[in-house]
Amino acid sequence: MKPLLLIALILVSITSCSSDDTATDSNIIGSWQLTNYDIGLSVDIDKDENFNVNLLDELNCQNNEVLMFEANGTVSSNDTFNPTLLISKSMNGEYEFDVECAEGSISFASSYAVDNNEVIYSDNISTISDNKLYRTLENVINVYNDDFTQIIETRDLNLIYTKQ
C-alpha cells in the first residue's frame, strides 16, 4: 500500500507543477502589436537630438504590424512593417541611415507551434514573457562602407510584440 501511495504522491507533484512564464496555446492566441524594432544601436535618425534604440521612435514610417495567432495553429499579418534601411559606417565609426518607408502592405501566413515559453513560426524561435513576444532575426541588417561597395558588418534585428 505504501508504494502505491508514494507513486500517487509523485504523480500529483509532477502534474501540479507549473510556471507563469510558460506559454500555452491559449495565451498566444490573439493580436500582438509590433512595439520595438531595433538593431542594437542608439541612433538619432530623425535629428531631433533624442537618441533611441527603438527605431519605431526614430522613423517616420507608419507601423501597422499586428501578428494574429489563431486557435487553428496559424499566425498571420496583413500589414508588416518593412522599411528599407540602407546603413553605412564611416571610417570614424559613425553610422548614417537612408530610410525609405515601404508603401502598400506585405502579408504572410504560417503555422506556429508552442513549446514552453517559445513560439516557433517561419523557421524562427520567439520567446514569450510578460505579454511580450521577443523575436530576433540574426544577421539580417547589412552595414556598408561609405560608398556602399562592401558589407562591413551585419546586425541582428530585434522585434518585440506586445499582446493587445
Query: Does residue 125 register a pLDDT over 60?
Result: yes
The whole-number average pLDDT for the span 142-148 is 96
Is it the case that residue 15 has pLDDT exceeding 80?
no
pLDDT category at 96 given cuts 50, 70, 90 is very high
Q: Report DSSP letters for 27-80, one per residue.
A: HH-EEEEEEEEE-S--B-TT-SS--BS-GGGT--S----EEEE-TTSEEEESS-
Specify if 13 maps to a domain: no
Q: pTM (2 decimals)?
A: 0.82
Q: For residues 24 and 93, which has the higher predicted lDDT (pLDDT)? A: 93
State the cell numbers at 9. Answer: 504522491
User: Could you tell me the three cell numbers for 56?
Assistant: 519605431
pLDDT classification of 102: cutoffs 50, 70, 90: confident
In the chain, the amino acid numbered 4 is: L
How far is the first Cα of the chain from the last one, in angstroms, to the nearest whole number? Answer: 52
Domain count, the chain: 1
In a domain, 106, yes or no: yes
3 assigned to some structural domain: no
pLDDT single digits (tens) 60-93: 999 999 999 999 999 999 888 989 999 999 999 9
- Do the domain assignments include residue 7? no
| Percent of all residues in the chain with a pLDDT value above 70, rounded to a whole number | 85
Domain hosting 108: range is 22-163
φ, ψ at 48 (rounded to 5°): -100, 10
